[in-house]
Structure 1
Amino acid sequence: MNFVFPPQTAVVPVAGSDAMFPVHRIYCVGRNYVEHAKEMGATGREAPFFFMKPADAVLPVAHGTIGEMPYPGMTNDLHHEVELVVAIGKGGTNIAAADATQHVWGYAVGLDMTRRDLQGEAKKLGRPWCTGKGFDFSAPISPIHPITETGSIVQGEIRLDVNGATRQNSNMEKLIWNVAETIEHLSKYYALQPGDLIFTGTPEGVAAVRQGDLLEATIESVGDLRVRIV
């Protein structure tokens, strides 16, 4: 087989290993913590909804290092959103919540970086969020920790500090739709594949960052992720 140019595959490192996790698709869950839903103007336990980022939007950051994310163009309001990321190792459709853990390969710490002004304008006009959510380097991510090491994650602290000050601090037990339920819903719409990443939603406290800011995200039982905006 001949290619016009070499195929490009986005990858994320596996924690404690030289193995790489090839990324197939990136799914994101919107407004999946009650208090964040409120700060975004919503209330109640609405049905889960999803949006996507390109696979190569990932910005892998090795353990113990500080990743550098360029401040994107066309925005004056870049926001942070810390999220638990679920890495899918076994595909399927119409997966029952009770079976969802069998499809999880591992977990990572992620940031769903958002051009909030562009997203807000798209909402007003009833247009897709792509420019607000799916831009280059918009998905910084830590190494993936296999579920065989972490166990199934249903609770634990999730926190984000900016320049040493805590901005977001919650517990994953406050997810409106937990990981298993999210997989159940998502797999009704898409055939999940090995290599899929699911950003499971962010708690309250999202806010703007500027060039020079240091973002330090921590998720209990998973690890940390440090990114500087450059």
Structure 2
Amino acid sequence: MKLLRHGPKGREKPGLVDARGTMRDLSSHLDDITNATLSPAELGRLRALDTEHLPIVPAGTRLGAPYRGTGKFICVGLNYSDHAAESNQPVPQEPVLFAKWNSCIQGPDDPIVMPRDSTKTDWEIELGIVISTRARYVDPADARRHIAGFCVINDVSEREYQLERCGQWDKGKGCDTFGPIGPWLVTADEVPDPQDLRLWLDVNGKRRQDGSTRNMVFGVDFLVSYISRFTTLEPGDLIATGTPPGVGLGQKPPVYLKAGDVVTLGIPGLGEQRQVVHAWDPALLD
């Protein structure tokens, strides 16, 4: 099942993609897709619906983040060995964890607005894990039971803020518009092997990233288990699992986003995103 939210920012309605690839409105069955919707029982109820007669969402309708109510947005750094190498960092012995502020979350095709005076805004395609049920000190073998599904994330990053302004990585990761998610939340039953997914990202039509989750240093099940040792994972918590090589920081010389650039990215089966980059403009944030 592919869940989505459609409509103007702040007024999104629930929806899904049916077996024929048509977007359908779910407003007659629930008010919104939230962290509460991600329970196994609620997902089962939605899965059993007859979608054939649900209203069709018109093509071109804006999509928001596929669910509301992310409690924690947890990220894993340097989780592809070849990305660690291009970043001049050693391959971690344990997962590197940091956070993105939830205020960065937006729809998959909403504009990226660079922070004021930013010169090193970068791109990072990542596989996202969405938590369905509380997880605390879970065994890797049981991790999948706590996963509602998966999604595409662009972990947009400001490298100067992240690496040159002292302190944690977080300050370069959570700027407004730096968390495009979606287009869909694809339930776990439709992703039989999350360690066999291709990730790609283009900037202005030029392929910059082309990787596979097979090359993760730490896989999906281990990450859920590991993170649950340090914080209780709750329904709706989101984990960004790291990016393959090809980020702007790793180009020789480095290449960063500028106003007017178009970023497209996707994971087969999980959908695609498209963002236009803008210089700082607070009017684009509301």
Same fold (TM > 0.5): yes
Partner of 2:103: 56
Unaligned ranges ≥5, structure 2: 1-9, 18-23, 27-31, 34-66, 249-255, 279-286
TM-score (norm 2): 0.70
1:147 to 2:213 alignment: no
> Could you tell me how far 1:129 is from its partner in structure 2?
2.2
Partner of 2:72: 25
1:162 to 2:162 alignment: no
TM-score (norm 1): 0.87
Higher relative contact order (CA 8 A, sep 6+): 1
Partner of 1:121: 164
Counterpart pick for 2:115 among 72, 81, 98: 72
1:111 to 2:151 alignment: no
SS at match of 2:111: strand
Partner of 2:246: 205
The answer to whether the 8 Å contact 1:108/1:144 transfers is yes
> Could you tell me how far 1:90 is from its partner in structure 2?
0.9
Q: In 2, Cα distance between the equivalents of 1:74 and 1:113? A: 16
SS at match of 2:172: helix
> Could you tell me how far 1:107 is from its partner in structure 2?
0.7
Superposed CA offset, 1:185-217 (max 9, x none): 110000000010000000111011111111111
The answer to whether the 8 Å contact 2:78/2:91 transfers is no
Q: How many residues align?
A: 215
Q: Which amino acid in 2 is paired with 1:117?
A: E
1:85 to 2:121 alignment: no
Runs of 4+ residues over 3 Å off in structure 1: 11-15
Superposed CA offset, 1:12-39 (max 9, x none): 9664264522211100000000110011
CA RMSD in angstroms comes to 2.1
Indicate the percent of aligned positions where both proteins have the same amino acid.
29
The answer to whether the 8 Å contact 1:91/1:193 transfers is yes
